[in-house]
Every structure is written in structure tokens, then in C-alpha cells.
Amino acid sequence: MNKRPKPELIDDENPEWTKDDFARAVPTSALPESLRKKLGVRGPQLSPTKERITIRLSHDVVERFRATGDGWQTRVDTALKDWLKTHRPV
């Protein structure tokens, strides 16, 4: 039983993939290097530059950084680096 979504969610220019579509698909790593460069496919990361952590911050701090738009977490990181230049964590 294959139901179609609501008509307003159907995109005829970008139809849902079929089993045959998936069978023909190849990973981007299998594409020629010249095409990967045009597509902007990033190579493997050589070494992690950041560590994923969980941190609790004040609501007002998070909201002010989030209000600055995309990249706000990077700006938090930059602010902490700047703080470390003149302070020493205890």
C-alpha cells in the first residue's frame, strides 16, 4: 500500500525515488574527481578540529548568540577563545 502525500507536498520536478533509482545510485566518492570538485564534495576530514560536547548555558546567552543567525555556535567558540586570552579557568 503506497500512499501519496498531500498534493501540496508533491514536487513533480523532484519526484520521490523508486527502488530502481536507488539501485542506479552511486556514492559521490565514485564520481570523477573533476565532477566532485564542481559539486563541492568535501573530502574526508584529516583530523577533527572540534570536539562535540554538551554544555549548559544561560538562556539569555544562548538567545543572544542564536539571534545572530547561522554560525552562532562558532561565535560562542570564538568568544570563549577570546576570554581565554585574558583569563585562566579555575
Round the CA-based radius of gyration of the chain to a whole number and report it. 22
- Under a CB-based contact definition with an 8 Å cutoff, are residues 75 and 65 in contact? yes
Widest pairwise Cα distance in the chain:
64
* Grid cell at residue 8: 501540496
Report domain extents, the chain: 15-39
pLDDT (0 to 100) of residue 39: 82
- Under a CB-based contact definition with an 8 Å cutoff, are residues 66 and 77 in contact? no
From first to last of the 90 residues of the chain, give the pLDDT tens digit.
566 667 777 788 888 889 999 999 988 888 888 888 888 766 677 777 888 899 999 999 999 999 999 999 999 999 999 999 999 988
pLDDT (0 to 100) of residue 1: 56
Does the reported pTM lie above 0.85?
Answer: no
